[in-house]
Structure 1
């Protein structure tokens, strides 16, 4: 690449895909905190226990299993919409409408009266938001060449974090304005807040209607309509088998209670998930074996993307997947309990919104742009290493914060360091994940990578409330920081064996 081409790439404001990703990033950032931090404060004000609040983080496991239905997004045409809007835009619009519907359902549910319905609505939001992410990730990778991916990931993260400000700080400010506080709970205040958040998603819908389909997303669908319909039916029946097994499997038995109950409960839950996944796989394989589902379509959707990745990386594929799965474990596990921690330490909702949701997100945006430009200059793996080290060190700063009285200056310092380092790490990580994909299987492979990235951390994060209740905040933050050490070793190992394009 010539010096002139490098300058063109760096003049990011002239690149149309960059601005598109800002608005699509905003649309992707809104739903996440409506499942995590904003919802956690709503549930706490409604009198839900700390342990149950963190269990709600599992509602976002759709982000960790989106690789399962990503092939449908890649291969399944939507009636009328796909012909009118194209493959990516049609699915993007459907996902965004699903997000809006799920947020409205949450708004119309009072957790004091219908906690189970709130859980269902949160799961639906996680599923719809994860589907939106699948399409946006594919759109981002297909809309520009590899030279722009680091900048696209940075601007996507910037838009994403602005969306998080709207759903995080914006939601907290509105709930406070409408009259709900930690001392006096008002359901109407949170209902109105979430309805406003549903309206904010109009930004994403408008963007989807105005943008053009990427050239690589225009590929025609090659199979008869009946094949796609049977493929969808097979997938739906497999999901039904998965859910049925989870309902049949009993909850953790009483003999799991004891000093090691949390570890044993985690293992029991993981085995239940594996059993349910096995049942779903058996159902799908039976329907494929009897010819109900087209074997060739299944191969294109699932087998070929996986085989392509294994062929390209060979024996290193396992180590690459391990790095993907563990890179953000320290950050995500801490993030699940963060809002509850701030509240328990005595910070007001306004202080949490101003410092952690507005100032903190702005620091993340700064860190993401810094990480993007560092990636262009020094390469992905070096910045991955820098990000991993910084995230582990800054997570330890929360131990100091837990040991002092509520102090807005101390909170600001910790949030600044934590979010700057997180922004650098995520920008490099997204660029690295993008470089791992083959353009022939964009949606499926990137969904697989990003699913693995969040699966293990979110499973652990669901137990963060119970761990805090057992060992306290300081020990928990020490554990969270130490989780980053294996990541540093993995990066060092892979950096010596994989040539990664910056």
Structure 2
């Protein structure tokens, strides 16, 4: 492995394979709020009934089912820009048109057509995510994975601000809803330039020969590896303590401590976002130096320990500075862990099947958050109280770290940089 300064520490972000992921991550995150919270806000202002607004929440189903058509992205390629960038470019151009078309409708009178367009936006946005995750997995060298993951996270979060909070401000005060959506379509079209200029992977794997092989071979290849089931369990457990601590964190700050909605919103949006980006960027730089296994272990420990901050808030008098410090610390540690975790998912994907394998692994990583942390957190809080609950979240994180230690040889073998 090269030991050049451009591959180590902060300098890794200067790699021509790494920095384009910031804009591609921005493109990946831009459509989500436009079919979610921003669309719901537009419908609310337009006087749409609560029942119909509730129906709009189904628009985002494509994001949870994207693994179903990921094999198509592995099997087929457009004749332009290579196997991955071709899919990304086509998705972005279609998204630009579809988002702009949403701006030509009125939810008060044309809700069904608007919802259908939103479903198409969600579908092509999920398709862009499939291709983008596969591209970033294929294009990055081993020592660049965490830095690439950090820029993906940063770009995605910035896009959520633009299409979420900033879009609401622009729609309400400056441009109106329809012009705002047209502007967002224009931003997506500009993102296509980043796709056009991004480099091709240094090594391009051959696509599966048939669609059937594209469906079966990714699973067969993964489960042929030693310790495959343990790896899947590690993916579920690694961020489980973090998921439990965050499941009702906003409710805790509002009801458990007594902060106002304005205080919580400001701290979460400003300190939380800045801290997550800082943590992800620091995680990328540190991992380039210390390798995948040590990063996962160190950042996982920091994730677990940072949950004690919420325990401190639960047992001490209300203090805005304390909340800001705890939220910042928790988000920094979460950002560190996320950068290393996404790098792990990339390392587990074989280039030939990276679209399907990454889609499946990322869906599996949401199992703990969706099916464990969400349903179990309320009864735990009711039975042991907020202070006891946040202490418990630290211990919930330990099985994942113990499994990581037990699998250290397997994880180290994934990391040529260690």
Aligned to 1:181: none
- Note if 1:371 corresponds to 2:283: yes
Residue 143 of structure 1, CA deviation? 2.1
Distance 1:55 1:485 in 2: 38
Partner of 1:325: 236
Q: Is the 8 A contact 1:394 1:418 kept in 2?
A: yes
For residue 377 of structure 1, report the CA deviation from its aligned partner. 2.7
Do structure 1's residue 205 and structure 2's residue 199 form an aligned pair? no
Any conservation in 2 of the 1:99–1:129 contact (CA below 8 Å)? yes
Matches of 2:261 and 2:299, distance apart in 1: 28
Cα distance, 1:446 vs structure 2: 1.9
Partner residue in 1 for 2:24:
24
Please say if 1:442 is aligned against 2:354.
yes
Pick from 132, 138, 144 the counterpart of residue 140 of structure 2: 144
Question: Which one of 399, 411, 415 corresponds to residue 486 of structure 1?
Answer: 399
The corresponding residue for 1:346 is: 260
1:94 correspondence with 2:80: no
Distance, in Å, in 1 between the alignment partners of 2:345 and 2:398 is 20
Q: 2: CA distance between counterparts of 1:17 and 1:377? A: 18
Q: In structure 1, how many angstroms separate the alpha carbons of the residues matched to 2:41 and 2:322?
A: 22
Shift in Å, 1:435: 1.4
Question: How far 1:427 moved relative to its partner?
Answer: 0.9
Name which of 143, 154, 157 aligns with 1:158.
Answer: 154
CA distance in 1: counterparts of 2:230 and 2:70, whole angstroms:
23
Do the aligned partners of 1:21 and 1:152 also contact (CA within 8 Å) in 2?
yes
**Cα gap change, 1:466/1:141 in structure 2, threshold over 3 Å: closer, same or farther?**
same
Aligned equivalent of 2:130: 134
Q: Secondary structure at the match of 2:407?
A: helix
- Structure 1 position 90, deviation (Å): 2.1
User: Secondary structure of 1:83's match?
Assistant: coil
Over 3 Å counting, the alpha-carbon distance change for 1:324 and 1:36 in structure 2 is farther
Instruction: Could you tell me which runs of 5 or more consecutive residues in structure 1 were left unpaired when the two chains were aligned.
Output: 179-187, 223-295
> What SS is found at the alignment partner of 2:18?
helix
Question: Compared with structure 1, are the counterparts of its residues 138 and 113 closer, same or farther at alpha carbon in structure 2 (3 Å cutoff)?
Answer: closer
Deviation at 1:469, TM superposition (A): 11
* Other-structure match for 1:244: none
What are the superposed Cα offsets for residues 93-144 of structure 1, whole Å, 9 maximum, x if unpaired? 2322454466557765649996x88876665544333221221122222223
Pairing 1:410-429 to 2, within 5 Å after superposition: 410-429=322-341
| Cα distance in structure 2, aligned partners of 1:105 and 1:335 | 36
Select between 475-484 and 129-138 the one with higher mean Cα deviation. Answer: 475-484
Q: Pick one of 360, 365, 368 that aligns with 1:453.
A: 365
Structure 2 unaligned spans of 5+: none
Are 1:305 and 2:218 matched, yes or no?
A: yes
Instruction: Tell me the alpha carbon deviations over residues 269-301 of structure 1, each in whole angstroms, 9 at most, x when there is no partner.
Output: xxxxxxxxxxxxxxxxxxxxxxxxxxx614420
Moved more, 129-138 or 147-156: 147-156
Return the match for 1:381 from 287, 293, 315: 293
Q: How much does 1:362 deviate?
A: 2.3
Tell me the distance in 2 between the aligned counterparts of 1:423 and 1:364: 5
CA distance in 2 between counterparts of 1:123 and 1:475 reads 42
The structure-2 alpha-carbon separation of the partners of 1:201 and 1:145, relative to structure 1 and needing over 3 Å to count, comes to same
Is this contact kept in 1: 2:5–2:12, CA < 8 A? no
CA distance in 2 between partners of 1:121 and 1:458 (Å) = 27
* Structure 2 counterpart of 1:70: 70
RMSD: 4.5
Change over 3 Å in CA distance of 1:192–1:473 after alignment to 2: farther
1:198: Cα distance to partner?
3.6
Tell me the distance in 2 between the aligned counterparts of 1:125 and 1:134.
14
Q: How many residues align?
A: 406
2:408 counterpart residue number: 495
Distance change >3 Å, CA 400–CA 198, structure 1 → 2: farther
